[in-house]
Amino acid sequence: MNEGASVNRLVKESSPYLLQHAHDPVDWYPWGEEAFETAKRLDRPIFLSIGYSSCHWCHVMAQESFRDPEVARLMNETFVNVKVDREERPEVDSLYMKVCQMMTGGGGWPLNLLLTPDRVPFWAGTYLPRTGRHGMPGMMDLVPAVRKSWQQGRNDIQEVSMKVLELLDSFERDPQEGDVSGLPERAVERLKEDYEPRYGGFDGERKFPSPHKLLLLMRLWREHRDQKALDMAVHTLDNMVRGGIRDHVGGGFHRYSTDPRWHLPHFEKMLYDQALVLMALSEAFSITGRPEYRQAAEELIDYVQERLVSPEGGLYSSEDADAAGEEGSFYIWRYKELESLLSPQDMATFKELYDVWDSGNYRDEATRLRSGKNVLHLTSTVADHAKSKGHDPQALMEWDVRTRRRLKEVRDSRPRPARDDKVLTDWNGLMIAALCLAHRYLGSERALGLAKGALGFLEVHMMKDGELYHSYRQGEVGTLSYLDDHAFLAWAYLEMYQLTLQPRHLEKALGLMERTISLFVDREDGGFYLSREDPHLLMRIKDLYDGAMPSGNSGAYYVLACLSALFKDARYVEVMEGLEKHFMRELLVIPSAHSMFMCGVLMKEESRTLEVFGGGDPNIEGYHPHLLLIRAEHMEKGAISSRTFYRLCLKGRCLPEMEDLTEVMRSLQ
């Protein structure tokens, strides 16, 4: 691209994130052969920048650095510049994030690395301003220094590159024997140590929802009656539901809280967070019956239905943190604006209930002065507030819903955050599974309808010629599928089967896992690779860590635990044992870092199967996360029984046949 041109190569891409950078003066390349061959031909290092469309600090760096003509000129003269959407290319992001963490001790997005033309890193970092400040390097200093080193001190760069290759070699694990059966309890004991008792959660100064940790706590309580585990999950959810991390006006949850009390969020809204939080809320409601969990779950579904469902039924990826150039501007409220919208009496109640201040209820991050802005967060549940004031709880709850709807009408007239309208198979799979759980535990027919719509979309648009694809946007599929796509879509099919007992859903889950094993399993050392064979990737990564969302290995293990309970297939057991051995060292060191995997271990150890004979359609009430339903003829492909009865099997033995579901329920308890 010539300097001063209005577009770069990214204009031909479909990713919303890459298109955000299509008009940068930086001469960006997408990840691929053209970029790598150009770097070799010109003998230039590669500047690799990885981010995603709803990332606030990615936008900040773009505005400060990538759209600055002088920075762009230096980059174009020095590097071959490559942009990657981490959501479209998770294998690239996963590999280089691990490198960044090993080189610097930290990571995050935007993720920026300098690579040799052979794609070996020799420098890594995250956000880079135009000029250095507070000990942070700036692009105007970094780029000339790199150019000088590349031209005059290549030996130093080569030395660093060799050390990085050694680090990459250390990613390989030696399989180790061990027993996973007691690890869920150990994981929960570690979570108890990490637990922050005042506001709940486990992350210290910044708090991520991490709902899979809550699922583990609740599921362990179900099997072992560990009351402390349940109390931690419920207290954390209570504070999340009341906190500013929840969008009290529009529904759904933001990505994470920047403070310990869940008050001030980073305002991105990610589909996977909605899915995982919906799972936790649904299961918690089944245990406790608390109406605030149902309300938060239903409003989350409202948000997904309004903002994230495509006309064809697929689910979009995210909404941005920023609107009109300011983070959170769509979501925050100034006191006088609220005063102008509410009567004095309503304002007095709203002020107390949602803790709004004339000076703002949070401080500016840079100046530490009151911001004048308010993030809505409940000081208590609406019902508890009513009781404390001597009001009718039902009347106040109805007033609260009306008031928030009024605010939503006003807020909807503001400039909206940008929406990333690509559809990702793995995130859709998680949400479909969550919507099925919402139907199971909340009785939400609407949730089941959304799940069926999204599943139908994936079947029409993401499955072609026997292949599954990872992403879709505006009529075009992107890369072929990754491990996470197979694992979470198989989970979705399993949950749909649990609700419908339609054989095609079970067959789809089985077929996906067969394909998963053939594409991704490491037959020599065990475990699943994240991606397929790729000549452009330095190495294939295997990861088990359950971060903001569960890992593909954990998801695959959970699905295999379900399928092996239903079918007693020796191949599934073999793959699961290989996965256990491959990751045994890290499982033993920090079991709590793999909470979704631990849910899989609980499923393996505690699963119960209810075989349904005949045309019965059992409606199982209560919290039974490890109960798996199957029609008997789907196990043996036999004829449908002429009468309806049930057989409950657990721990390798089956109880006598039962014709009455109340008998089944008594046995489950």
Residue 149 is part of a domain; what is its CATH number?
Answer: 3.40.30.10
Domain stops at, among 560, 576, 604: 604
| Mean predicted confidence (pLDDT) in 618-635 | 91
Residue 220 has pLDDT above 90, yes or no: yes
Confidence of residue 638 (pLDDT cuts 50, 70, 90): low
Residue 642 has pLDDT above 90, yes or no: no
* 483 and 569 housed in the same domain: yes
Tell me the range of 174-178, 468-472, 661-665 where mean pLDDT is highest. Answer: 468-472
* 496 and 569 housed in the same domain: yes
What is the DSSP-derived secondary structure letter of residue 374? B
**Residue 302 in domain:** yes
Confidence of residue 219 (pLDDT cuts 50, 70, 90): very high
Q: Is residue 597 a contact partner of residue 544, using CB atoms and an 8 Å limit?
A: yes
pLDDT in tens, 300-334: 999 999 999 999 999 999 999 989 888 899 999 99
Give the integer Cα–Cα distance in Å for 66 and 25. Answer: 7
What is the DSSP-derived secondary structure letter of residue 305? I
pLDDT in tens, 254-266: 999 999 999 999 9
Domain stops at, among 413, 445, 472: 413
* 553 and 625 housed in the same domain: no
Which helix (H) or strand (E) segment is 216 a member of? Answer: helix 211-224
Measured CA distances, 332 to 241, 361, 372, 385 (Å): 17, 10, 10, 23
Domain stops at, among 413, 430, 463: 413
Q: Could you tell me the maximum CA-CA distance found in the chain, to the nearest angstrom?
A: 84
pLDDT in tens, 114-138: 999 999 999 999 999 999 887 778 9
Confidence of residue 619 (pLDDT cuts 50, 70, 90): confident
**Residue 1 in domain:** no
* 449 and 569 housed in the same domain: yes
Residue 2 has pLDDT above 60, yes or no: no
pLDDT in tens, 392-435: 999 999 999 999 999 999 999 999 999 999 999 999 999 999 99
End-to-end CA distance of the chain: 68
* 560 and 654 housed in the same domain: no
* 445 and 301 housed in the same domain: yes
Residue 26 has pLDDT above 70, yes or no: yes
Three-state DSSP at 85 gives: strand
**Residue 180 in domain:** no
Question: Could you check whether the bond before residue 129 is cis, i.e. omega within 30 degrees of 0?
Answer: no
Give the number of other Cβ atoms within 10 Å of residue 380's Cβ: 14
How far is CA 478 from its chain centroid? 20
Q: What percent of the chain has pLDDT over 90?
A: 84
**Residue 206 in domain:** yes
Mean pLDDT lowest among 33-42, 581-590, 610-619: 610-619
How far is CA 411 from its chain centroid? 26
Confidence at residue 602, expressed as pLDDT on a 0 to 100 scale: 98
Confidence of residue 30 (pLDDT cuts 50, 70, 90): very high
**Residue 179 in domain:** no
pLDDT in tens, 88-109: 999 999 999 999 998 888 889 9
* CATH number for 528: 1.50.10.10
**Residue 277 in domain:** yes
189: tokens are: 């004991």
Three-state DSSP at 645 gives: strand
Q: 630 lies in which domain range?
A: 607-668
Residue 194 amino acid letter = D
pLDDT in tens, 46-72: 999 999 998 888 999 999 999 999 999
Confidence at residue 134, expressed as pLDDT on a 0 to 100 scale: 75
Give the count of domains, the chain: 4
* 556 and 578 housed in the same domain: yes
pLDDT in tens, 348-401: 999 999 999 999 999 876 677 888 999 999 999 999 999 999 999 999 999 999
Confidence at residue 640, expressed as pLDDT on a 0 to 100 scale: 66
Give the number of other Cβ atoms within 10 Å of residue 135's Cβ: 5
**Residue 175 in domain:** no
* 551 and 490 housed in the same domain: yes
Q: Which of 287, 619, 212, 251 is nearest to 439 (CA)?
A: 619
* 654 and 584 housed in the same domain: no
Give the integer Cα–Cα distance in Å for 430 and 484. Answer: 10
Confidence at residue 169, expressed as pLDDT on a 0 to 100 scale: 84
Residue 5 has pLDDT above 70, yes or no: no
Confidence at residue 637, expressed as pLDDT on a 0 to 100 scale: 66
Phi/psi region, residue 4 (left: phi>0; alpha: psi -120 to 50; beta: rest), is left
CA triple 456-460-465, angle to 5 deg: 135
270: tokens are: 């990610």
* 108 and 252 housed in the same domain: no
* 595 and 649 housed in the same domain: no
Confidence at residue 49, expressed as pLDDT on a 0 to 100 scale: 97
Confidence of residue 1 (pLDDT cuts 50, 70, 90): very low
Indicate the pTM of the whole model. 0.95
Instruction: Identify the residue with better confidence: 637 or 546.
Output: 546
183: tokens are: 């690890």
**Residue 141 in domain:** yes
* 126 and 202 housed in the same domain: no
